[in-house]
Structure 1
Amino acid sequence: MSFASRLRVVFRSKANQALDRMEDPREALDDSYEQQLKMLQKVRQGLAEVATAGKRLELQGQELGTRHRRLADQAEEALNQGRDDLARTALERRVLVETEVASLRDQYAALRTQQAQLQDNERRLAQRVAAFRTEKETMKATYAASRARVQANEAAANIGSEISNVGANLDRARDRVAQMQARAAATDDLIASGALNDATATPDADLDRQLSAGATQSAVDRQLQSMKDARSTNRGQASGGRGTEPDAWLTIGQSPN
């Protein structure tokens, strides 16, 4: 792979990563979940406010009920004392209290209805949020697994491409090595035969090589003849015990005394 191709692959990978971050569905799911939680929180705040208002109405109604009973007791006491005027005043105020209680009762009933509706809405919204959370986490896990699978497959594909390139380079290297070995062997043969002069060799080096080869052959012939003579005379000097001595190596290549 050329440098320009590798550069294009790097830029393409960076661009894909940027797009993945911009289009990551997990972030969108989390944002939607946060918005639903905020809606649920607002519903619960409204429910708490309605419940608080209803509690205030209850306390106000209890106070009016206490006053209503006290005015009845005061009217009764006024009659016992022969004070019809005071009894009338107490009863008039008691009627006004009854009017206030009737209005308060209507407001309280409306609040209770509104509270029941809000409780029902809160319960259904909480169920939807919980269901959405479960689905969100499932989708996120599925997306993460799929993304990991894609990355693994892409990595495997890149590894396969790299291995293919390495194999091609290795084949080329083997061919070059084989060619060089063949050339080295050929030049050795040419130099040995004298067809190719070795510029680094000493003058008349070819004669030295041939004489050395002849000397080697003569030494082999002498040793072979010596072994034959020893066998014929049963002396066994070719494989005698001298070879087992510690300094026997010093006599290798020397003629026996």
Structure 2
Amino acid sequence: MADSLGVRVGRIISASAHALIDQVEGALPDAVMQQTLREIDAAIDEVRTELGKAIASRHLASKRLTEQSSRHEDLSEQVEIALGQGREDLAKAAIESQLDIEAQVPVLESTVADTASRERELEGYVAALQAKRREMEDGFQSLLAARKYAAEKVGAAPLGGNGPGVARRIDDATTAFNRVMAREGGSGVGRVDRGLDSRLAELDRLSRQNRVEERLATLRAKVAKD
């Protein structure tokens, strides 16, 4: 799952708005744009699902590690008490429990580290996909504007108008888009478009804005220092 998700994200990030339009024979750019954005939104949703699983796994492993470490300390105290009372049998039992804990701790620590690394990877996927979505949308809009201008210059109806045969052209665009995405390992339009939660989208926007402001402040300070 991890590998296939990474491959899919890589395919989306590598895509080009203009190249996609060029590969889809006779397609309406606007139809292709909407389908491509839905594909990216679906990928973001899928990555976020995996991110939630990684966060939950790390939380459980961290909690178990804390519990085991605390138990190990308690057993150390109990060993001293048992020895002080001449109960070597109880001390041995406590030490055996400590050894069992010590065997588990490295695995728990590795799980915490691995899931934390996976979280960072998935968070990077989300950020990259969101950036790609903005890039694709901007690219499509620029392409639409250019084609509309070119059509008007030659006196033709702009692409995406309401003339006869538009519904058929949209169907053709959908079919061609699915064919291209299938060749590239994508899923096409058949996916369920659950979209982005409005609050999460707003949080993403604020986070991005904050990063921009932080970087700007750093550059300002550097310029002022020079």
TM-score class normalised by the smaller sequence = 0.5 to 0.7
Letter in structure 1 aligned against 2:140? K
Q: Distance in 2 between matches of 1:152 and 1:117?
A: 48
Q: Structure 2 stretches of 5 or more lacking a match?
A: 1-25, 159-226
The aligned counterpart of 2:39 is: 35
Give the percent of matched residue pairs that are identical in Structure 1 and Structure 2.
22
Aligned length: 133
Opposite residue 66 of structure 1, the aligned amino acid is: S
Aligned counterpart, 1:242: none
State which of 81, 85, 91 in structure 1 corresponds to 2:89. 85
Name the larger-Rg structure: 1
Q: 1:30 to 1:143 in 2, by over 3 A?
A: farther
For the pair 1:114 / 2:94, whether they are aligned, the reply is: no
Report the alpha carbon displacement of residue 151 of structure 1 after superposing the two structures with TM.
5.3
Give the alignment's TM-score, normalised by structure 2.
0.52
Distance 1:85 1:59 in 2: 30
Residues in 1 aligned to 2:38 and 2:136: alpha-carbon distance in whole angstroms: 11
TM-score normalised over the length of structure 1: 0.47
Q: Does 1:136 align with 2:140?
A: yes
Partner of 1:53: 57
Aligned to 1:138, the other structure's residue is in SS state helix
**Separation of aligned partners in 1, 2:36 and 2:138:** 13
Partner of 2:101: 97
Give deviations 1:21-66, integer Å, cap 9, x for gaps: x832111111111111111221122112111111111111111112
**Larger relative contact order, structure 1 or 2 (CA cutoff 8 Å, min sep 6):** 2
CA contact (8 A) 2:75 2:94 kept: yes
Give distance in 1, aligned partners of 2:54 and 2:109. Answer: 15
Partners of 1:73 and 1:153 lie apart in 2 by: 85
Give unpaired runs (5+ residues) of structure 1: 1-21, 155-257
Cα RMSD, aligned residues only:
2.4
Alpha-carbon distance in structure 2 between the residues aligned to 1:29 and 1:81: 78
Q: Does 1:23 align with 2:27?
A: yes
